Structure 1
Amino acid sequence: MLTRTGAAVGISTVALLAAGILAGYPELVMIGLAGVVALVVAALWMLLRPQIGAVREIRPHRVTEGNPARAVLTVKNTGTRRSPPLVVTETVADQRVTVPLPSLAAGASHETTYPLPTGRRGRYSIPALMVGHSDPLRLMYVGSPCSGGSVLYVHPRIHHVVPVALGGPRDMEGPTSSRSPQGGIAFHSLRDYQPGDDWRLIDWKSTARTGSLVVRHNVIPDEPQHLIVLDTSSEPYSGSSFEDAVRVAASLCSAASQAAFPIDLRLTAEDALPSGDSELGALDLLAGAEPGPADPGLSTLADLLNDVLAGSDGTVLAVVTGRASSRDIDILSSLGQRFLTVSLVQISERPTAAPRGVIAVNASTSDRFAALWNQLVPQ
């Protein structure tokens, strides 16, 4: 394909030939013919397409916004003749990255690294890189996809905040269930001995009664689940407040996870994917979160939390939004008694008054939120 320079040469060539023939100026015709020769030579050069193999690796696949990430590119000349200088083109976060490569002898390889743009949070699908070459005059360019696509997660920045500690004190002999993780000191049930069980857990009275080895099944007591809801509708936000709201949600998820509380992150978008119960899953989900005008927002909060409301386990709820509407406040107020604690974070210059019994934090930025939250929530 023609480059911009090649297209300009082609147009100029046609114009010069036409002007020279019509006006009877052989000099213009000669210049036009020189352009024809240059284009023909460039086309013949393109036929000598090098045989190149390339492998790209993203290191790391997950970073926090502003932290460095790079691509490691290994290129090998699999042909029998020396390859010309090449150009590798990447498109990341709508930014075009061009990497020049040197000429390679037959069988030789070259490794290079180059930075990827990570200044803005996002989930970036990086298509297969394009490896191409051009003629010496840069009149034509031929590129072909090489290697596969990749995904780069740029996570939101996280502030150090304390988890909500108002969901009840931690009880080492607290409530347990069959889904509780093993390895604690809280007794849940008796079960048959399995190879590898600690002999100190054998219940000798039950063993004597049943005639087979029986052990105590100890688990870690159930802890209050921390449920974080991020409003992803566009109406409550202005300016860059949505980015601050995402950082707030990420900070709450990280704080609960670091304190070993189960977490559950949910977005109000109807097509939002589940985050799983891990901090990494939550951050991956937040990396791709975007506000949408068709998003129902907090108006469907009851439906969004229907499975949680139907359960019997204790849950700590935190809702993050921009400026909550009066309807949002009414919905939150009606649901407040169903949770151990309810927090409402509004990233807005003009927040709406929160209902009674709700931990309310109103801040204009995520930095301000972190400072207010750590003052309000006991450590």
Structure 2
Amino acid sequence: MTRSGVVMAGATVGLLLAGAWADYPELVTLGFAGLGALVTAVAWLFVRPQLTAGREVRPRRVFEGSAARGLLTATNVGRRRSPPLLATETVGGHCITVPIPALVGGQSLQVGYPLPTERRGRYVIPPLVLSQSDPLRLLHRRRALGAGLVLHVYPRVHPLAMVTAGGPRDAEGPTASSAPPGGVAFHSLREYLLGDDWRLIHWGATARTGTLMARHLVVPDEPRQLVVLDTSAAPYTATMFEDAVRVAASFCVAAEQAGLPAQLRTTGDATGGVQWPDGEWGRDLSATLEFLSVVDSGGVDRGLAALLDTVRDVISADHGVALVVVTGRVDAGQAELLTLVRPRFLSVSLAQLVTAEPASTARPPGVLAVAAPTSAKFAVSWNRLVLR
């Protein structure tokens, strides 16, 4: 029963009682009129419209601030005309009401409506709710249709130039099975495949195994991008953490566009925020962005004090890795830590999201440090510094 229905029911009871007590026929007549309106509302809702509704989200993965739309398809599968209805969609606490006009039997209607994408996150959209009401809006009935949907809103990204310092340090250096083929470094022997250069055939191994074997040559020591996001709460003020997440996402996207294997880790988990299969460096950018859409700051997190534990396996592997640390304000001890690990990487970059002037922020020796109050201003300052 709606608020109007409650008022109507109370007035009906009051009029009937007052008319009977005062022997006032006119009040009793008004009371019966209200009772008739309530009975009519019940009869109106007694017949449920034979309406089916389905909806989808296009696209299901968008960047923060980009357009995402819901598409509702309603069909009257009955023979009688359906009454006007209201469909309610709930996304991240926002209620979106979509009116569905009256449909004749067999008629279908498609309605599109925008979805909120102002904030990153993983939004679980519950089933659609259809609301039916009588003409006087005294009663209404709701029913849920369809299944739940999921909308991923990735952090906003900015174009970033990649640091070109470093690169393959040895043409015959360390290799990995995930390294791209076609290089000059010998990694292992494998069976000969149709189309392989016959000059790669290893005749000695072929004679020993009885199977045609070939040398597997790869590009050695491929440069890699490691992005470490500081997820502790102490370095950030106000909404700075949101900007830090955008900067981390921007570096991951830039590495993907440059064709560099990348990995994202957080200080809150020494084994890495995103785990790639078998511990290898991966290129699954969507998994990284999905993680960044839900990552949060706070909790039990040592911040940059856990940096050595976070990158220890990379240092021990001695691969050509470019390190990017995304954080807020950096103190003297943390700056000294970055200087300490600098010789073990091709390059070390420090992205600071701070409200103070860049001149007052930490600039560890040998570290490419850029500070800015927002992710957009960081991208401008970073590209100006790297591309000059």
Q: TM class by shorter-chain length?
A: 0.7 to 0.9
Tell me which of 309, 323, 326 is aligned to 1:303.
309
Residue 121 of structure 1 is matched in structure 2 by 120
The answer as to whether partners of 2:83 and 2:101 remain within 8 angstroms in 1 is: yes
SS in 2 for 1:229: strand
Superposition map of 1:1-80 within 5 A: 2-21=1-20, 25-80=24-79
Identify if the C-alpha distance between structure 1 residues 171 and 89 changes in structure 2 by more than 3 Å, giving closer, same or farther.
farther
Kindly report the root-mean-square deviation, in angstroms, between the aligned alpha carbons of the 2 structures.
3.0
Could you tell me how far 1:252 is from its partner in structure 2?
0.9
Identify if the C-alpha distance between structure 1 residues 34 and 354 changes in structure 2 by more than 3 Å, giving closer, same or farther.
farther
2:171, 2:20 → 1: CA distance?
97
Could you tell me how far 1:222 is from its partner in structure 2?
3.6
Could you tell me how far 1:306 is from its partner in structure 2?
4.2
- The reply on whether 1:367 has 2:367 as its aligned counterpart is no
Could you tell me how far 1:72 is from its partner in structure 2?
1.7
Tell me which of 279, 290, 293 is aligned to 2:285.
279
Q: How many equivalent residue pairs?
A: 377
- Single out whichever of 300-309 and 260-269 deviates more from structure 2: 300-309
Residue 342 of structure 1 is matched in structure 2 by 348
TM-score normalised by length of structure 1: 0.86
Identify if the C-alpha distance between structure 1 residues 130 and 294 changes in structure 2 by more than 3 Å, giving closer, same or farther.
farther
Write the deviation string for residues 206-234 of structure 1: whole angstroms up to 9, x where unpaired: 47755642223233434232111222333
Could you tell me how far 1:119 is from its partner in structure 2?
2.6
1:4, 1:268 → 2: CA distance?
52
SS in 2 for 1:305: helix
- The reply on whether 1:177 has 2:176 as its aligned counterpart is yes
Tell me which of 191, 195, 198 is aligned to 2:196.
198
Identity of aligned residues (%): 49
Residue 219 of structure 1 is matched in structure 2 by 218
Residue 228 of structure 1 is matched in structure 2 by 227
1:335, 1:344 → 2: CA distance?
12
Identify if the C-alpha distance between structure 1 residues 47 and 307 changes in structure 2 by more than 3 Å, giving closer, same or farther.
farther
1:135, 1:201 → 2: CA distance?
83
TM-score normalised by length of structure 2: 0.84
Identify if the C-alpha distance between structure 1 residues 259 and 25 changes in structure 2 by more than 3 Å, giving closer, same or farther.
same
Amino acid of the structure 2 residue aligned with 1:308: V
Amino acid of the structure 2 residue aligned with 1:366: S
Could you tell me how far 1:348 is from its partner in structure 2?
0.7
- The reply on whether 1:355 has 2:354 as its aligned counterpart is no
Identify if the C-alpha distance between structure 1 residues 208 and 264 changes in structure 2 by more than 3 Å, giving closer, same or farther.
closer
- Single out whichever of 144-153 and 286-295 deviates more from structure 2: 286-295
The answer as to whether partners of 2:264 and 2:273 remain within 8 angstroms in 1 is: no
SS in 1 for 2:254: helix
Amino acid of the structure 2 residue aligned with 1:274: V
The answer as to whether partners of 1:165 and 1:378 remain within 8 angstroms in 2 is: no
1:311, 1:9 → 2: CA distance?
77
1:344, 1:286 → 2: CA distance?
19
- Single out whichever of 295-304 and 241-250 deviates more from structure 2: 295-304
The answer as to whether partners of 1:182 and 1:220 remain within 8 angstroms in 2 is: yes
Residue 279 of structure 2 is matched in structure 1 by none
1:19, 1:304 → 2: CA distance?
79
Identify if the C-alpha distance between structure 1 residues 373 and 273 changes in structure 2 by more than 3 Å, giving closer, same or farther.
closer
Amino acid of the structure 2 residue aligned with 1:345: A
Write the deviation string for residues 120-171 of structure 1: whole angstroms up to 9, x where unpaired: 3222111111123222222222222212111112222221111122233587
Write the deviation string for residues 30-54 of structure 1: whole angstroms up to 9, x where unpaired: 3333333222222222221123322
What are structure 2's unaligned runs of at least 5 residues? 277-281
2:182, 2:25 → 1: CA distance?
93
The answer as to whether partners of 1:309 and 1:338 remain within 8 angstroms in 2 is: yes
Could you tell me how far 1:24 is from its partner in structure 2?
5.5
Amino acid of the structure 1 residue aligned with 2:309: D
1:294, 1:17 → 2: CA distance?
66
Could you tell me how far 1:116 is from its partner in structure 2?
1.2
Superposition map of 1:157-168 within 5 A: 157-168=156-167
- Single out whichever of 185-194 and 364-373 deviates more from structure 2: 185-194
- Single out whichever of 163-172 and 227-236 deviates more from structure 2: 163-172
